[in-house]
Homo-oligomer: A and B are copies of this chain.
Amino acid sequence: MAMRDVHCEVEEVGATPRGRDHGLVWLLGRAALRSHQSLQERFVRHGIRKWHYAVLAAVDEAGPVTQADISRRLSLDGSDLVGVLNDLVSAGYVTRNPDPANRRRNLVALTEEGAAALREFDVCVVETEDELLATLAPDERKQLVSLLARVLDAARPAGVE
């Protein structure tokens, strides 16, 4: 890795954050990593990963949708969605059929088994969140979620949903 020479003058920065350990980006990254691992640990017992759950939930909430819709809604690359759907179809959790109105599109719909499985998987999410937020009071949980949602809205590129 070729590191570029540092040539800028920096004598008046003064904004050096004392306690770099507590930077927001750092904390976000570690918290996300741990929560993700904790959730995946539960999902793996059901043979799924987080995107399987996210796609199931999206199809459940939006009714029969096209893959492009799911992709946009979840900010999941279309090519990655294909693999996830292959798994979900194999498991019998969703159906994927061409849209008769527009034969480019596939309509993805939740099956009975998919709906039942989704309720199972929801438990994993609830358990993980309870574990993570065990030390927080209920109003603090709401505060954290609210603050994170606002950060995400601000960081969103341009009016995506």
Contacts and interface: CB of A to CB of B under 8 A. Distances in A.
Interface of A: 1-4, 6, 8, 10, 13, 15-17, 20, 22-36, 38-39, 45-50, 52, 54, 57, 61, 75, 87, 90-91, 93, 113, 116-117, 119-120, 122-123, 125-126, 128-129, 131-136, 140-141, 143-145, 147-155
A47 B1 contact: yes
A49 B1 CA distance: 10
B132 A153 contact: no
Contact of A119 (B10, B22, B134): B10
A117 B10 CA distance: 10
A16 B127 CA distance: 11
Given A1-B90, A24-B141, A134-B154, 17 more contacts: A1-B87, A3-B91, A10-B116, A16-B119, A16-B122, A22-B149, A24-B35, A28-B31, A31-B155, A35-B155, A132-B151, A133-B151, A135-B153, A136-B147, A136-B151, A144-B151, A147-B147
